[in-house]
Amino acid sequence: MKKNLYTILFIILISLTLTSCKKKDADLVASFYPHYDILKNISKDKLKVDLVVPFGCEVHDFTPTPKDIEMINKSKLFVYASDKIDVWVKDLINTNINYVNLSNEVTIEFSDDIGASIHFWTDTLVFVDMIDILKDEIIKIDPENADFYTENANNYKTEILALHDELVSFLNETTHEKVIYFAGHDALGGFSHRYNIEINSLIEHFSPEAEQTIRQIENIISALRETNTEYLFIEELTTPRVAETIRRELQKDNLDVTLLELHGYHNISLNEGKRGVTYADLLRQNIKHIKQAFN
């Protein structure tokens, strides 16, 4: 009997602890992954960082929930990419929100290319700029830890710039034609201009929702056939159905095409999120795949 009473008391105690355990409001909120990655890498565990578009979800076609909006309203800083990609933001922004619209802050060198200007974070050097911009914003919120944030930002910039240099020197040395066929939407313009790599996207549009016409698929098949290309690049987080079709079609001509991912950094999977995969990790993977294709 006494034992039962202890059990009941224990259960009550546990449930009290659980119900009183309220989730801490996020200090810094990013609309989606690339700027989330920066906020996280600069603030580490000093500030709570959250993102609106969850890991694994499509950023181009997103609608926030009332909970997301509450999270943004309660944050100390909200960072988004632009009105063009975060189309849901414009109804939300008011004077009570401390926000950064990154597209107004970064210098986009290749703005005449609409795909490149929307996906500005794919240009490694623009991403490095974003680190500085967001470091300054974080310091405004928490000036006491300025040295900590500055050091983290500098370390992250050093890591990214070392990868950038590695890719530049590889591309300077290789005699391989710098052409990529990409079974995805026109997302890597910034990356393409920065490294002088011609990226032929299957979907000549800046959003993955654009229709993949049979003609475009046929064009990429004949281009791969004519150029004897061994590698076809694919987008992140999508089932490469079209790419698989292209691969099978070329197999009929005894052409073996290998699919490689070229990450556009829009988002990472839930698993990658749990592992803490960074923009630097994704750039490292892109470099590895480009080296494989251009060797």
Contacting positions for Zn ion (CB under 5 A): 187
Q: State the DSSP string of 150-204.
A: HHHHHHHHHHHHHHHHHHHHHHHH--S--EEEEEEES--HHHHHHHT-EEEEEE-
Alpha helix (H) ranges present in the chain?
2-19, 33-43, 66-74, 102-105, 114-118, 124-141, 146-173, 189-195, 214-227, 241-251, 270-275, 279-293
- What is the spatial order of strands in the sheet that 99-101 belongs to? 49-51, 28-30, 77-80, 99-101
In the complex with Zn ion, the residue whose CB is nearer, 156 or 206, is 206
In the complex with Zn ion, the residue whose CB is nearer, 152 or 200, is 200
Residue 85 CB, nearest approach to Zn ion (Å)? 7
Residue 73 CB, nearest approach to Zn ion (Å)? 27
Terminal C-alpha separation, the chain: 76
In the complex with Zn ion, the residue whose CB is nearer, 187 or 243, is 187
In the complex with Zn ion, the residue whose CB is nearer, 163 or 188, is 188
The number of angstroms, rounded, from the C-alpha of 133 to the middle of its chain's C-alpha atoms is 17
- Residue nearest to Zn ion according to CB distances in the complex: 187
Residue 265 CB, nearest approach to Zn ion (Å)? 10
In the complex with Zn ion, the residue whose CB is nearer, 38 or 187, is 187
Q: State the DSSP string of 266-277.
A: S---HHHHHHT-
237 contact partners, CB below 8 Å, separation of at least 6: 56, 58, 266, 267, 268, 269
Residue 82 CB, nearest approach to Zn ion (Å)? 12
Give me 177's structure tokens.
């034609």
Residue 58 CB, nearest approach to Zn ion (Å)? 9
In the complex with Zn ion, the residue whose CB is nearer, 27 or 235, is 235
Residue 174 CB, nearest approach to Zn ion (Å)? 27
Question: Could you give the dihedral angle defined by the CA atoms of residues 43, 48, 49 and 53, in that order, rounded to the nearest 10 degrees?
Answer: 170
